[in-house]
Amino acid sequence: MKKILTLLILLLFTVIVYSQQDQQFSMNMFNHAAVNPGAAGINEGVCATALIREQWMGFEGHPSTKVFNVNTPLAFVGLPVGAGLTILTDNIGFYKNVSLNLAAAYQIDLGNGILGVGANFGFNNQALSNTDWFVGDGGSGANSDPLIPNDESAFVFDLGMGVFYKSDKLYAGLSSLHLNEPVVEFDQTAKTFLKRHYYFTSGYHINLPNPLFELTPSVFVKYDGTSMQMDINATLEYDKRFWGGVTYRLEDAYVAMFGMNLIGGVSFGLAWDFPMSQMGTYAQGSFEFFGRYCFHVSRNTKKGRHGGILNLD
């Protein structure tokens, strides 16, 4: 079993070296601002979102990803701009990735909604640590393969761009991350790069005959220039409070989701992936959790000594 596990990790490492793939999430409909800088501040309120994913549970060293995003419009200070911050950590075997990005989006009133045109920039730290993964020496504590680096870490500068449109009924976004495809050099024997990725998402809110129910079909597409991943989703919300949904990820998995919108702008959701491939025979599926807190910010028209008062709703 240890030999099989080591082989899987090495194969994953090879994929990382030659074809970096961005992290996978199932509840992408709640994670727009993390992958599209044009969505920064699009909700007309301050929103803080945390999302945690444990993938292929049951495997030692399985992918574990956490992302935190906070974004806000700046209209309350007179600027037609949204701003955001995204922090992501991703661990898989002896590979660790930490990124921090700042986003800004210029917002334009368009039809019945808002169009955000944005860019993000930041830093990405990738690290290799084979302290717990030994090759060729029976686990004595020293790496005997000169082609596999020991503890290494490198920082690179990262760029992205995106556009996002949102109205009462429709949302749609198109973005590209890692535009500069930065090369990460660990040492003379190992290097990797962040491959440019493209994202497209769209959803439409449908009011059902019973006004308490709202159906939202949506799609999420990720493409890295060689391979494509598509999620087809549908969520049903009851009374603006409870919701549930399903996702079909093409040729990969089915996903079940449910969540609640609590009072005071707090909401949360849970998702469970059921793999369609033989991976499901060995792994215990993938689990995902998201939590969000939002509050509205408006500018009081009554002038005070400092020019205005912020109202938090």
Domain presence at residue 116: yes
Which of 40-54, 115-129, 149-163 is predicted with the least confidence, judged by mean pLDDT?
149-163
Q: Is the pLDDT of residue 46 over 70?
A: yes
Write the pLDDT tens digit of every residue in 64-118: 899 999 999 998 888 999 999 999 998 887 778 899 999 999 999 999 999 999 9
Cross-strand partners of 216: 235
* Other CB atoms within 10 Å distance of the CB of residue 307: 9
Mean pLDDT computed over 294-303: 62
Higher per-residue confidence, 35 vs 309: 35
Higher per-residue confidence, 183 vs 34: 34
Nearest of 129, 179, 123, 182 to residue 153 by alpha carbon = 129
Q: Provide the mean pLDDT of the chain.
A: 82
Q: Is the pLDDT of residue 282 over 90?
A: no
Higher per-residue confidence, 261 vs 192: 261
Domain presence at residue 201: yes
CB 62 within 8 A of CB 68: no
Write the pLDDT tens digit of every residue in 156-196: 899 999 999 999 999 999 999 999 988 877 665 666 778 89
Domain presence at residue 231: no
Total tally of structural domains belonging to the chain? 1
CB 297 within 8 A of CB 310: yes
Phi/psi for 151 (5° steps) reads -60, 120
Higher per-residue confidence, 223 vs 252: 223
* Other CB atoms within 10 Å distance of the CB of residue 265: 17
pLDDT value at residue 244 = 97
Q: Half-sphere exposure of 129 toward its Cβ, with a 13 Å CA cutoff?
A: 11
pLDDT value at residue 166 = 97
pLDDT bin (cut points 50, 70, 90) of residue 142 is low
Domain limits for position 37: 2-220
Domain presence at residue 257: no
Furthest-apart CA atoms within the chain: distance in Å: 73
Higher per-residue confidence, 69 vs 275: 69
* Other CB atoms within 10 Å distance of the CB of residue 94: 21
Question: Which H or E element spans position 6?
Answer: helix 2-18
- Provide the 3-class DSSP secondary structure of residue 307: coil
Q: What is the model's pTM?
A: 0.82
Write the pLDDT tens digit of every residue in 117-126: 999 999 988 8
Mean pLDDT computed over 262-275: 92
Domain presence at residue 284: no
Mean pLDDT computed over 238-264: 94
Domain presence at residue 7: yes
Residues counted in the chain = 313
Domain presence at residue 34: yes
Domain presence at residue 155: yes
Which of 22-26, 28-32, 210-214, 242-246 is predicted with the least confidence, judged by mean pLDDT?
22-26
Q: Half-sphere exposure of 166 toward its Cβ, with a 13 Å CA cutoff?
A: 15
